[in-house]
Amino acid sequence: MSRRLPLILLLVVLPLWLAASYGLRYGFMEDARWVGVCVDEASRWECSLRSNLGWMIHFKVLGWSALGAALLAFVVPGRAGWGLAVLAVLAGIPALALYNTTLAVFAVVIAALRLVRAK
């Protein structure tokens, strides 16, 4: 296995993850069709998922978890720190797309700095 394979795989997965995050935002959270469905039939599992995601956005769960993982990744040495930085980026990208930009921007920058840090 090449040393660059994890980095190449990460660079392929990140744009797909960003597209999925924006699809979730515009196709599920902001779509007027879902608002109407969830007003009429609030007991549907999709509406419950939408409601729980709304609470996660309100309490900034993704932003705080991304920031915590990024800060922890910055001080943990070796591959464990690199893995935590990947986790922070993967949590920070949906947080950026789902209205937690204040926390997520710092998390993504800190995690990216950890990812490119020399060994």
What is the overall mean pLDDT for the chain? 93
Compute CA 89 distance to the chain's CA centroid, rounded to the nearest angstrom: 7
Distance from C-alpha of 84 to C-alpha of 76, rounded to nearest angstrom: 8
Q: Dump pLDDT digits (tens) for 57-112.
A: 999 999 999 999 999 999 999 999 999 999 999 999 999 999 999 999 999 999 99
Chain center to CA of 95: 5
Distance between CA 84 and CA 51 in Å, rounded?
A: 28
What's the 3-state SS for the chain?
CCCCHHHHHHHHHHHHHHHHHHHHHHHHHCCHHHHHHHHHCCCCHHHHHHHHHHHHHHCCHHHHHHHHHHHHHHHCCHHHHHHHHHHHHHHHHHHHHCCCHHHHHHHHHHHHHHHHCCC
Is pLDDT of 17 > 80?
yes
Residue 45's pLDDT is 93
Domain, as residue range, for 10: 5-116
Q: Indicate if the pLDDT at residue 115 is higher than 70.
A: yes
Looking at the 3D structure of the chain, how many domains does it have? 1
CB 107 within 8 A of CB 70: yes
* pLDDT more than 90, % of the chain: 77
Is the model's pLDDT at 1 over the cut of 80?
no
